[in-house]
Structure 1
Amino acid sequence: MFGSLGIYNYRLYASGQIISLVGVWMQRVAQDWLVLELTNGSPVALGIAASLQFLPVLLFSMWGGVLADRLDKRKLLLWLESALGVCALALGLLDVTGVVQLWHVLVLCFLLGCFSAVETPVRQSFVVEMVGRESLTNAVAINSMMFNLARIIGPAIAGVTIVAIGTGWVFLANAISFVGVVLGIWLMRTSELLRSDPLPREKGQLLSGLRYVRGRPDLLTVMLLVLFIATFGMNFYMTLAIMARNVFGGDADAYGLLSTLIAVGTFAGAAWAARRKTPRLTVFIGSGIVFGLLEAISGLMPTMLLTGLMMIPVGIAMMTFNTTANATIQLAVEPEMRGRVMGIYMLVFLGGNPVGGPLMGWLGEINGRAPIVVGGAVSMLVSITAWIILVRRGDIARPRPRFRKQKQHEDPPASPAELQPSDR
């Protein structure tokens, strides 16, 4: 289950990454709460902040994939992780000194999004260089486990810390946490990295990545479904904050609790994914249907406790969906295309937030429950539609009859035990 951790470079990477991810999740909670405090609880302002953070994905994620194919990924990550830490440090200093304003937060959200848009495809495509193709699926699942373990720990710490000493110290703690991941990457044994030959700088490399994906129906299917569900169904950074504050009248610790409970589910889903060797299309789409249904139901729960408990199975379904999508993409592409394809994948995974964020914020102004209910309904409907289309195309087999049909001239079998299962 944890085989990839036996690889020295990946073990260093994972050790630093888990520390940094805890800080990142602490900042996400603190940032959302700071925006709500500065705007007297405006869901629209929260949606705008989310859009500014994810808008750079539309602009730079594919270029980040091109850089990943061209340059030394390890060195590139050292610079990018350092830049992310500086953004957290700036926001923390503005906050603890009491001069922070909404426009400060919005500008830093945009800068953070710019660096993240490039960093994510580079980091995703770097995994195979640390562990090799044989251990890639396991490493992807362990990455998800770390991400969601941090998602359990980070919001819980952030909720208590915000109530006790304020949001500013959470940002500063996140800045310090980046030291761990930078140090881990710095100490790697470069001779043990399984690097692919970097591409020479040429014109049209971004377009060639797009043409590659367009010519692969399997990749297109995964990416289109991820686009819709990520845009409308996975806005928990915003919908849970709205539910905690505006529906149930809770404080930052209530938001942290809801975030932690969904992370419990996603961690369990990632642990299950680590045991699977190959992704399956039926699991991928089926988990999308279940995720949408459970999310819509969770938005209708009458109390915060019941909503929180529903977040656990929602998280399991969501992580099954995400992990299967990621593993499918990573294993399906050629090494020289991996960076660009992962850049496109991150574009569809995160790039819909500039649209989904304000839309969900607007729905939240009308009714605090609407974003999570509507998001779940959309996720379920697009997954069902994808299932129907793939069955008609033959990519997913139709249900087979369990028994042979009897011909009219044949005598019926003497007993049900004599019925033979179909060998079709």
Structure 2
Amino acid sequence: MLYSLLSFKNIIKNKEISNIMLFSVASSISLLGTAIYNFAIGLYVLRITGSGLSFAVTLSVSVLSTILVNPFAGVLADRLDKKLLAIITDMLNGILFIGLYVVTCRSTLNLSMIYVSTFLLNVFTTVYGISIEAVKANLVSDEKLISMNSIIKVIESTAAILGPSIGGIVFVSLDVKFFIFINGLSFALSAVLQLFIDFSFNCKESNKVKAEINFIADIVEGITFLKTEKKIINMFKILLY
């Protein structure tokens, strides 16, 4: 009886450790891959056009896509299965890059392709990021939640710092088409890794209740709430000015 209890505890512990490891690797691939691509493709645009404006537009597309999709991403993360959402967004990024590689093998990688791929990449990554942020408490026990939060912040900070550095190295060292193909495989690998993560490890019963999706109503409700919060509005005014 005692041996059975100890075995059960080990299984639970191993599953939690497995969740942390798989989650860390998958998130690192997704977030770092996005950061590297955003910077490397910007340098590529600068080289083929010689225009600082085109370089700036490429970087702006990545930022604007994130801002535009954030309200919708939040609604999706609240209403849909978060594991499915994370896997789908990573798989879509993989399909996007492998498809882009196939297209560029037959024609030249032009600005239109770059702008569209950059926009879609950051849309999918934003949805992915919000999904994993919403589900992180379900991946580990309450005692390990602080550690999980720390891991997420380390991964995000590392991607933000190392992304441009590695992007510069990639731009100099690799052919852009080959990099696009490798990035597509990396996102596909991230999606596969998430299949083995137990997103319900510490899932509370109350979290399993799914509400009916109503995007417009939810977004309007969010905007209405922001209007009533004067402190938030004042903060945005300070940031804008």
* Shared fold, TM over 0.5: yes
2:12 maps to what in 1? none
C-alpha distance in 1, partners of 2:234/2:192? 35
- Check whether the contact 1:85–1:175 (CA below 8 A) recurs between aligned residues: yes
After TM superposition, list the pairs within 5 Å mapping 1:366-405 onto structure 2: none
How far residue 35 of structure 1 moved from its aligned partner, in angstroms, is 1.0
Aligned: 1:131 with 2:140: yes
C-alpha distance in 2, partners of 1:82/1:179? 5
1:101 maps to what in 2? 110
Choose from 59, 65, 68 the match for 1:50: 59
- Check whether the contact 1:23–1:174 (CA below 8 A) recurs between aligned residues: yes
AA partner of residue 21 (structure 2): R
C-alpha distance in 2, partners of 1:213/1:138? 31
2:210 maps to what in 1? 198
How far residue 15 of structure 1 moved from its aligned partner, in angstroms, is 2.0
Which has more helix, going by share of residues? 2
TM-score using structure 2 length? 0.75
* Secondary structure in structure 2 of the residue aligned to 1:204: helix
After TM superposition, list the pairs within 5 Å mapping 1:58-137 onto structure 2: 58-95=67-104, 99-131=108-140, 135-137=144-146
1:168 maps to what in 2? 177
Larger Rg: 1
* Secondary structure in structure 2 of the residue aligned to 1:28: helix
Choose from 39, 53, 76 the match for 1:29: 39
C-alpha distance in 1, partners of 2:116/2:49? 16
How far residue 188 of structure 1 moved from its aligned partner, in angstroms, is 1.7
How far residue 136 of structure 1 moved from its aligned partner, in angstroms, is 4.3
How far residue 186 of structure 1 moved from its aligned partner, in angstroms, is 0.6
C-alpha distance in 2, partners of 1:149/1:59? 24
Say which structure, 1 or 2, has more relative contact order (CA 8 Å, 6+ apart).
2
Return structure 1 stretches of 4+ with deviation > 6 angstroms: none
Residues matched between the structures, number: 223
C-alpha distance in 2, partners of 1:136/1:175? 31
How far residue 76 of structure 1 moved from its aligned partner, in angstroms, is 1.2
Ranges in structure 1 where 5+ consecutive residues have no aligned partner = 232-381, 383-424
How far residue 223 of structure 1 moved from its aligned partner, in angstroms, is 6.3
AA partner of residue 198 (structure 1): K
2:20 maps to what in 1? 10
2:5 maps to what in 1? none
How far residue 32 of structure 1 moved from its aligned partner, in angstroms, is 0.8
C-alpha distance in 2, partners of 1:163/1:184? 30
1:178 maps to what in 2? 187
RMSD: 3.2
* Secondary structure in structure 2 of the residue aligned to 1:188: coil
- Check whether the contact 2:38–2:118 (CA below 8 A) recurs between aligned residues: no
AA partner of residue 41 (structure 2): Q
Q: Deviations over 1:42-81 (max 9, x none)?
A: 2211222233333333443212211111111111111111
Relative distance call for 1:151 and 1:206 in structure 2 (3 A) is: closer
2:168 maps to what in 1? 159
1:19 maps to what in 2? 29
2:220 maps to what in 1? 207
2:9 maps to what in 1? none
- Check whether the contact 2:30–2:187 (CA below 8 A) recurs between aligned residues: yes
Q: Deviations over 1:263-287 (max 9, x none)?
A: xxxxxxxxxxxxxxxxxxxxxxxxx
How far residue 113 of structure 1 moved from its aligned partner, in angstroms, is 3.4
C-alpha distance in 2, partners of 1:126/1:110? 25
How far residue 31 of structure 1 moved from its aligned partner, in angstroms, is 0.7
Ranges in structure 2 where 5+ consecutive residues have no aligned partner = 1-14
C-alpha distance in 2, partners of 1:82/1:68? 17
Relative distance call for 1:148 and 1:58 in structure 2 (3 A) is: closer
AA partner of residue 199 (structure 1): A
C-alpha distance in 2, partners of 1:136/1:115? 25
- Check whether the contact 1:129–1:194 (CA below 8 A) recurs between aligned residues: yes
How far residue 19 of structure 1 moved from its aligned partner, in angstroms, is 3.0
